[in-house]
Amino acid sequence: MNTLAQDFQAGQINEATDRALENTMLSPRFYTTDFKEMDRMSTGSSRVQWDQLMQEFANDPNNAHFQRPADMVNNYSDLPEGLYQEFLDFLISSITSEFSG
């Protein structure tokens, strides 16, 4: 039902995704979903729980949890190259660890 993300070739990927997919000893493993297989599964018995979960996602209770300074919407790509690369590494690893559990 799942395949490793590097096996999934859906066109161009951006620099952040490319860097997140680097394979090291500590790299999380990314998977893609086989949607055709998922469509064949019967979900009727768990519909109530599914709808509750989707409502929880829609409510997004974590949206206000993280404190973001007003200037976080700025473009930081003009930082000195070394500092910008460290900043990107920090952001990518933070997002990767958040979503990889």
What are the pLDDT digits (tens) for 73-95?
Answer: 788 889 999 999 999 888 888 87
One-letter amino acid identity for 16?
A
Beta bridge partners of 32: 3
User: Is residue 28 classed as helix, strand or coil in its secondary structure?
Assistant: coil
pLDDT digits (tens, 9 = 90+) for 19-31: 777 777 676 666 7
Tell me what pLDDT residue 53 has.
Answer: 92
Handedness of CA 11, 14, 18, 21 (dihedral sign): negative
51 φ, ψ (degrees, to nearest 5): -60, -40
Per-residue pLDDT tens over the stretch 49-76? 989 999 998 988 777 777 778 877 788 8
